[in-house]
């Protein structure tokens, strides 16, 4: 085979613009809090803007809940738990959850468009991944509601009470589904707080919850910043905290609830290894690397951000990877051709740029794709670093952006040690044609999810969650029910 | 004249004295000294964690069947030394009949967990029917090194009930024995030592709970902490556990047995692999 010449000027074969229509979506100018199936103005009287990170335009004003608002929501959830939800049969609970799933499916495209507008992710991902997975999650757990006694051997399943749930901005609707669906199936009621930059799809979900006739107070959605989340965590009448977000905030939450009766599950950060052996199908592996780190702009807790390539194929893999990076489209999230959308916020873009700067300062060699990025909005070129060692900051800390670090290895033992040498343990990827080696690695990698010859796959039936400082508890599958049952 | 026994601690399959050189006396109800036991230090905790971490790879990779055999071997060894344990319990102030019952329950508990070693995985793992062409399964894996603060009462049965489910599941353990009734813990170390349990899988320290428990809770290379009945101290330990997100289990029923004592100390790992999909061939007949 001739040399792999990278495409010198990718703009030569630009696709014509193919934007998704936004004419069919319904967005209010101003969103209130959703408590007791009603839209309630915040007692703080404060609102904050939710912006489109691709255009920096304001999409809507969102209510900012304070401790009094959270208290109102918790009281509503407690009352709904005591008076209605805990008395309902599992079969009836299940019917409500099924109904929510169906109504979400009916409005799936609207959800996808709003998610891309608010979050910055490519429409292809929100349309084909986030929204269908969110619907399916409700479908999956709806069916568990009347079968809980099969979920945990020799334990009588009992609900916990009021679950306080705090979710991140990278998969806003999907994370809401991951949290709400199993909580309701297990018989709990919910107070959910979306991330401040991405409240819209959770509020649209509130519309569906209201339309579905779910009893008032069973699901309450309070929007706001960290102080709103803290009010949920510290509320004495909350029985369970479910949090997805950074390891730092996870630890703050654990400290806040230490010594209380509150149960918790934490799904936190990661610095996952993606390992390519010399017998791997290289082209597929390169797609896997790209999917591992550039999916959702790298805003993925399980992103394959540490690439380990076996030394004898490193040059070839890196060359192919660079030329593949040149063909990635960075731009308008609503364009169906877009591979990489907008970074979720200005703040996050600054964080990513800070790490890129540190990477260069510490002596790693940077490569960024040559693509043209929009002049407005928050965008970041797909980036990789070679010449990286374990001691580099960019190889240790979670960047949460489209930035890949590449290291090489020679032996199986060496790469297992390097891969496990991190306080995190969320996910890992292994690429090899040899079955016995796959099982050797998948057994020895200390991570909650291992993708062999694939990466970044998710499914409602598949338990997800970390080892070590990536958190504890699982979401998805039968194991995900454990988080919401005594 | 009787020979007095020297009670030492158990680290990495050896019986050293505490590196601190300190001791504290254990007395019977009349105030007579029964033994001078090691007043273990934080440094002993750290040494024990190193031994436990070193032993983890080998122990967790043993076959489940083999771990079951070794646990059953512990039961055999304990059964053969019943009289010694009963004597020690009686010396520490328990009635003869209660002591006999506790030792018999301890043997039975070992047999119970020996049987679980190659079964809990089948009960608690799953094959997950994902909506794509992948084979996907979730299996349990041991958490790693477990810090155990053994119950203060039921000094033998409590110790066994909190240590054995951890090692049954492939973990290794550093345990702080009952502070005021530590004799059986040290003698149990001798049982482990003669039961094919590799050195470092169980490490047993004697000393003050107020000193050892915070050292265990704060150690960055311990993956989970198991305790019971610590009252006020529990909140302090919970705060220390946050530093490396140590899993923290405080049981009220530490003298019970059950599957959950094994599975609580397991992580769930989910593995995905694509399934080749080539048109034509089917499995329809």
Let me know if A371 is a catalytic residue.
Answer: no
Tokens representing B56 are 């983890």
Residue A225: helix, strand or coil by DSSP?
coil
Query: Which residues of chain A are within 8 Å of residue B242 when distances are taken between CB atoms?
Result: 251, 254-255, 258
Q: Render pLDDT for A238-255 as a digit per residue (tens, 0 to 9).
A: 999 999 999 999 999 999
Query: The whole model's pTM is what?
Result: 0.95
Within a domain: B3: no
In degrees, rounded to 5, the angle at the alpha carbon of residue A31 between the alpha carbons of residues A26 and A36 is 110
Tokens representing B219 are 């150690």
Within a domain: B260: yes
- A334 within 8 A of A19, measured Cβ to Cβ: yes
Within a domain: B84: yes
Within a domain: B24: no
What is the per-residue DSSP string for A97-141? HHHHHHHHHHTHHHHHHHHHHHH---HHHIIIIIHHHHHHHHHHH
Domains of chain A: 30-268+468-484 (3.40.605.10), 270-452 (3.40.309.10)
Catalytic residue among A20, A267, A469, A475: A267
Mean pLDDT of chain B, nearest integer: 95
Query: Which residues of chain B are within 8 Å of residue A266 when distances are taken between CB atoms?
Result: 245
Query: Which residues of chain B are within 8 Å of residue A464 when distances are taken between CB atoms?
Result: 270
Let me know if A57 is a catalytic residue.
Answer: no
Q: Examine the pLDDT at A272 and tell me if it is beyond 70.
A: yes
Å from B236 to nearest chain A CA?
A: 8
Asked if B126's CB is within 8 angstroms of A477's CB, the reply is yes
> What's the pLDDT score for residue A12?
55
Q: Examine the pLDDT at A283 and tell me if it is beyond 50.
A: yes
Query: Which residues of chain A are within 8 Å of residue B259 when distances are taken between CB atoms?
Result: 153-154
> What's the pLDDT score for residue A29?
97
Residue B41: helix, strand or coil by DSSP?
coil
Within a domain: B5: no
Å from B228 to nearest chain A CA?
A: 13
Nearest residue in A to B272, CA atom:
A451
> What's the pLDDT score for residue B279?
67
Catalytic residue among A119, A135, A301, A371: A301
Asked if A450's CB is within 8 angstroms of B245's CB, the reply is no
Asked if B245's CB is within 8 angstroms of A459's CB, the reply is no
Within a domain: B37: yes
Asked if B123's CB is within 8 angstroms of A259's CB, the reply is no
Q: Render pLDDT for A48-63 as a digit per residue (tens, 0 to 9).
A: 999 999 999 999 999 9
- A440 within 8 A of A275, measured Cβ to Cβ: no
Domain count, chain B: 1
- A380 within 8 A of A343, measured Cβ to Cβ: yes
Q: Examine the pLDDT at B101 and tell me if it is beyond 50.
A: yes
Question: Closest by alpha carbon to A52, among A115, A123, A134?
Answer: A115
Residue B285 pLDDT level (bands cut at 50, 70, 90): low
Question: Where does A173-262 show beta strands of DSSP type E?
Answer: 189-193, 219-221, 240-244
Tokens representing A179 are 């949290």
Is the interface score ipTM higher than 0.90? yes
Å from A468 to nearest chain B CA?
A: 7
Asked if A447's CB is within 8 angstroms of B270's CB, the reply is no
Comparing CB atoms, the residue among A461, A468, A474 nearest residue B130 is A461
CA dist., res. A475 & res. A471, Å (int): 11
Contact residues for B119 (Cβ-Cβ < 8 A; gap 6+): none
Q: Render pLDDT for B182-226 as a digit per residue (tens, 0 to 9).
A: 999 999 999 999 999 999 999 999 999 999 999 999 999 999 999
Comparing CB atoms, the residue among A155, A468, A479 nearest residue B138 is A479
CA dist., res. B94 & res. A384, Å (int): 67
Within a domain: B23: no
Q: Which long-range contacts (CB under 8 A, 24 or more apart) does A15-18 make?
A: A15/A329, A15/A337, A17/A332, A17/A335, A17/A337, A18/A335, A18/A336, A18/A337
Comparing CB atoms, the residue among B245, B268, B271 nearest residue A442 is B271
Residue A151 pLDDT level (bands cut at 50, 70, 90): very high
Asked if A423's CB is within 8 angstroms of B239's CB, the reply is no
> What's the pLDDT score for residue B255?
78
Domain that holds residue B248: 33-273
Tokens representing A253 are 């939450």
* Residue B36 bridge partners (DSSP): B25
Domain of B231: which CATH number? 3.40.605.10
Which DSSP letter does residue B4 get? P
Q: Give chain B's contact residues with A (Cβ, < 8 Å).
A: 123-124, 126, 128-132, 134, 136, 138, 141, 143, 223, 234-235, 238-239, 241-245, 247, 258-260, 267-274
Within a domain: B245: yes
Q: Render pLDDT for A174-223 as a digit per residue (tens, 0 to 9).
A: 999 999 999 999 999 999 999 999 999 999 999 999 999 999 999 999 99
Which of A371-375, A400-404, A419-423 shows the lowest mean pLDDT across its residues?
A371-375
């Amino acid at each position: 085979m001739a040399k792999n010449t990278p495409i010198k000027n990718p703009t030569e074969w630009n696709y014509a613009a193919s934007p998704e229509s936004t004419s069919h979506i319904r967005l209010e100018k101003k969103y209130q809090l959703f408590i007791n199936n009603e839209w309630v103005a915040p007692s703080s009287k404060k609102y904050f803007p939710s912006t489109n990170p691709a255009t920096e335009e304001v999409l809507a004003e969102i209510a900012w809940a304070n401790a009094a608002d959270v208290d109102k929501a918790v009281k509503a959830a407690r009352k709904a738990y005591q008076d209605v939800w805990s008395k309902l049969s599992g079969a009836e609970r299940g019917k409500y959850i099924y109904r929510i799933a169906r109504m979400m499916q009916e409005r799936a495209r609207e959800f996808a468009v709003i998610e891309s507008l608010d979050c910055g992710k490519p429409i292809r991902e929100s349309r084909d991944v986030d929204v269908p997975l969110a619907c399916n999650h409700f479908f999956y757990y709806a069916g568990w509601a009347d079968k809980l006694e099969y979920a945990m051997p020799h334990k009588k399943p009992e609900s916990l009470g009021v679950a306080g749930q705090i979710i991140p901005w990278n998969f806003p609707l999907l994370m809401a589904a991951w949290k709400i669906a199993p909580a309701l199936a297990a018989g709990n009621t919910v107070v959910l707080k979306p991330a401040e930059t991405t409240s819209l799809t959770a509020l649209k979900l509130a519309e569906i919850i209201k339309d579905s006739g779910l009893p008032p107070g069973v699901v309450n959605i309070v929007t706001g910043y960290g102080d709103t989340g803290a009010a949920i965590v510290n509320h004495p009448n909350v029985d369970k905290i479910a949090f997805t977000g950074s390891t730092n905030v996870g630890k703050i939450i654990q400290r806040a609830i230490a010594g209380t009766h509150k149960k918790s599950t934490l799904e936190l950060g990661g610095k996952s290894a993606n390992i390519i052996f010399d017998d791997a199908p290289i082209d597929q592996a390169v797609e896997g690397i790209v999917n591992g780190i550039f999916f959702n702009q790298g805003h993925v807790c399980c992103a394959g951000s540490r690439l380990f390539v076996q030394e004898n194929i490193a040059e070839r893999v890196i060359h192919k990877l660079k030329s593949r990076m040149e063909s990635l489209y960075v731009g308008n999230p609503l364009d169906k051709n877009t591979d990489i959308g907008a970074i979720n916020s200005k703040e996050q873009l600054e964080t990513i740029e800070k790490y890129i700067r540190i990477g260069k300062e510490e002596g790693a060699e940077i490569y960024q794709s040559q693509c043209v990025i929009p002049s407005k909005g928050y965008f970041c070129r797909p980036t990789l670093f070679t010449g990286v060692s374990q001691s580099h900051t960019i190889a240790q800390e979670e960047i949460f952006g489209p930035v890949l670090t590449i290291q090489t290895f020679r032996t199986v033992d060496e790469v297992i040690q390097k891969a496990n040498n991190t306080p995190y343990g969320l996910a890992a990827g292994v690429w090899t044609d040899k079955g016995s080696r796959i099982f050797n690695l998948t057994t020895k990698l200390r991570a909650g999810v291992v993708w062999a010859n694939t990466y970044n796959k998710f499914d409602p039936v598949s338990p997800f969650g970390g080892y070590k400082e990536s958190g504890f508890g699982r979401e998805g599958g039968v194991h995900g029910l454990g988080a919401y049952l005594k | 004249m009787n020979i007095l026994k020297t009670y030492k601690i158990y680290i990495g399959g050896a019986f050293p004295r505490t590196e601190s050189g300190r001791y504290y006396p254990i007395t019977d109800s009349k105030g007579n000294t029964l033994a001078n036991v090691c007043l273990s230090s934080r440094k002993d905790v750290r040494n024990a964690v190193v031994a436990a971490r070193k032993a983890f790879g080998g122990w967790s990779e043993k076959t489940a069947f083999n771990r079951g055999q070794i646990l059953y071997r512990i039961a055999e060894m304990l059964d053969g030394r019943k009289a010694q344990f009963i004597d020690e319990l009686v010396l520490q102030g328990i009635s003869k009949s209660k002591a006999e019952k506790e030792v018999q329950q301890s043997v039975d508990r070992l047999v119970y967990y020996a049987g679980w070693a190659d079964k809990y995985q089948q009960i608690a793992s799953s094959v997950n029917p994902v909506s794509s062409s992948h084979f996907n399964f979730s299996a349990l894996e041991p958490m790693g090194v477990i810090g155990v603060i053994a119950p203060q009462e039921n000094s033998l049965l409590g110790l066994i009930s909190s240590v054995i489910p951890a090692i049954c599941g492939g973990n290794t353990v550093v345990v702080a024995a009952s502070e005021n009734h530590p004799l059986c813990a040290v003698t149990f170390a001798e049982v482990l030592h003669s039961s094919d349990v590799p050195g470092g899988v169980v490490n047993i320290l004697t000393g003050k709970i107020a000193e050892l428990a915070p050292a265990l809770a704060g150690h960055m290379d311990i993956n989970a902490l198991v305790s019971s009945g610590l009252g006020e101290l529990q909140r302090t330990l919970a705060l220390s556990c946050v530093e490396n997100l140590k899993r923290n289990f405080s049981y009220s029923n530490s003298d019970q047995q059950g599957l959950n004592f094994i599975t609580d100390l397991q992580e769930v790992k989910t593995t995905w692999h694509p399934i080749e999909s080539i048109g034509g061939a089917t499995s329809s007949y």
